[in-house]
Amino acid sequence: MKFVKKKNDSIKSTSNAAGNGNMPEFKDNEVTFANIKRILSDSDDINYQIHYINNRPDLSVTLIYVDGMVDTKIVNEDILKPLTQEKAFMEAKNAKDIIEFIENGAIYHSSRKKRLTLKETLEDILKGSAALVFDSEKTAVTFEVIGYEKRAVTEPVAENAVKGSKDSFIEVLRVNTSLVRRKITSPYLRIKEVFAGKHTRTAIAVIYIENITNKKIVNEVFKRLNSTNVDGVISAGYIEEYIKDRKRTIFPLMLNTERTDKFCQYLLEGRIGLIIDGLPNAYILPATFNIFFQAPEDYSQHFVISSFLRCLRYICAVISLTLPGFYIALTTFHQEMIPTLLAYTIVKSKQNVPFPTSTSVLFMQVAFEILLEAGLRLPKYIGQAISIIGALVVGQAAVQANLISPLVVIIIALTGMTGFTIPNQDFSNSMRIVRFVLILFSTIAGLYGLSIGLVLIIYHLNTLDTFGVPYLSPFVASEGKGIAKDTIIRMPLFLMKKRPVNLKVTDKKSKG
């Protein structure tokens, strides 16, 4: 399996830990209150409190935490209360004893870590831990007491779940990983975190099932993640664009999902998942062409129904891509191909329209895209109404004013509707752009141009690969294996005994 790096697509790999999300090394690395205060400076949300342990002034400790990120109730009950009242601390002579007692459970908190470096201490504090800093020992003990506001696990917003689990990922990494753990309780499920973003230091969980997934792909994923050099990871594109194979293609090379069942389903096939802290989606890679047409409901329904719906999606994708270009080609270059009765209908509908067919189609397609984009930006309570009114009134008015032929309106509406049958929004978006290219080709050279455009698209898709897996597999490069099982049609589950061949997984059998 080759992982081809193109010259133009090379990622800057740096051995400098500062660029890839690791905390920089500090000159004075001692864990003291003064050092921490110096580095964190005067942020008003950082709390510094000096407490006397068991009311003994000779035994003081500094509590440091970020206000708003910790659960203060836990801090009070589980950390401060035992520090003040726990009898064990009465026997302590110095800070070293205190630390020993804490390590052995004198404080009622399960998640505690002893930190000997300033870097580790600061990392913990900034991630929502409360730190007890012992200046005399140059040591800190941190407790994970995360208490920031987070969203409840709700239904997916962008991907409707018709029949299947309705929980979706949220912005908190640990909650997301727990959702995955609940579905896959295999002891071989691995969740390994890397950090990305110089200033955000965002945690990215790489999830895979060790005894299934191809090790080479796993290693390549880690390699690419560790070599990303970004300021911060605020949106999904920051990671996606840096680690995917081909930067310039508009086709998605990683599957983006917010559904946990879909995520886990692909992990079981032998793919790798990425969950990014702060983002409510997850990525699946390597993502090949056919998985963008799959939906989790395909495995909840009878295989005949699922196969029918899959075929429908593929047909709708072709229609969505080629219908406007095909219409332009027929009406402008190849009128003899249109049945005569339909030709007369088109002529009648196009009477007195001042614009050529290609201009009308282009105009309506752009208007449709504007409507879609405006619908996204408008507030929810007026967005839907504006979209409907815009479509109806503008479309109707344009037809009645003889600016547009009614058939063009139907063509564009059909194009839009069929485009939305594709389960993956990223792929659907890329098709929106490709459609314009095909419209242009058809305008220039009719069906000949449309054919050239389609050939170029297929050629481009054929040149893509994602983490060593050809993008169009299993349709190509698989010697016919796996084409009939779970691509355009879905075989009964009892016949799908093997994992996808193109992933070259360790454990090929998917049963028992």
Q: Closest separation between CB of residue 251 and other proteins, Å?
A: 17
* From candidates 446, 468, 474, 500, binder to other proteins by CB under 8 A: 446
Residue 280: asked if its preceding bond is cis (omega within 30°), the reply is: no
- Coil, strand or helix at 21: coil
Number of amino acids touching other proteins (CB under 8 A)? 23
How many Cβ atoms from other residues are within 10 Å of residue 340's Cβ?
A: 9
Q: Which two tokens stand for residue 24?
A: 């920089």
Q: For other proteins, give the closer residue by CB, 50 or 342.
A: 342
| Residues between 356 and 395 with contacts to other proteins, criterion CB under 8 A | 356-357
Q: Is 335 in the site for other proteins (CB under 8 A)?
A: yes
* From candidates 22, 200, 300, 332, binder to other proteins by CB under 8 A: 332
- Region binding other proteins by CB under 8 A among candidate stretches 189-197, 267-275, 303-311, 439-447: 439-447
Q: Which two tokens stand for residue 392?
A: 């109806």
* From candidates 52, 148, 188, 344, binder to other proteins by CB under 8 A: 344
- Region binding other proteins by CB under 8 A among candidate stretches 165-173, 176-184, 313-321, 333-341: 333-341
Contact call for residues 253 and 238 (beta carbons, < 8 A)? no
Contacts of 337 (CB under 8 A, 6+ apart): 330
Contacts of 32 (CB under 8 A, 6+ apart): 133, 135, 138
Q: Is 442 in the site for other proteins (CB under 8 A)?
A: no
Q: Closest separation between CB of residue 444 and other proteins, Å?
A: 6
Q: Is 304 in the site for other proteins (CB under 8 A)?
A: no
- Region binding other proteins by CB under 8 A among candidate stretches 59-67, 294-302, 424-432, 438-446: 438-446
* From candidates 44, 91, 149, 336, binder to other proteins by CB under 8 A: 336
Q: Closest separation between CB of residue 348 and other proteins, Å?
A: 5
Beta-sheet pairing, 272-276 with 202-209: antiparallel
How many Cβ atoms from other residues are within 10 Å of residue 460's Cβ?
A: 16
Q: Is 331 in the site for other proteins (CB under 8 A)?
A: yes
Q: Is 148 in the site for other proteins (CB under 8 A)?
A: no
Alpha helices in 297-336 (DSSP H): 303-332
Q: Is 457 in the site for other proteins (CB under 8 A)?
A: no
Q: Which of 250, 437, 456, 461 is nearest to 325 (CA)?
A: 437
Q: Is 452 in the site for other proteins (CB under 8 A)?
A: yes
> Under the phi-then-psi rule, with left for phi > 0, alpha for psi from -120 to 50, and beta for the rest, what region is 282?
beta
Strand order from edge to edge, sheet including 189-196? 189-196, 202-209, 272-276, 282-285, 255-257
- Region binding other proteins by CB under 8 A among candidate stretches 132-140, 193-201, 219-227, 443-451: 443-451
Q: Which two tokens stand for residue 337?
A: 């191909």
* From candidates 224, 244, 313, 350, binder to other proteins by CB under 8 A: 350
Q: Which two tokens stand for residue 340?
A: 């005569």
Residues of this chain that bind other proteins (CB under 8 A): 331-333, 335-336, 338, 340, 343-344, 346-348, 350-351, 353, 356-357, 444-446, 448, 452, 456
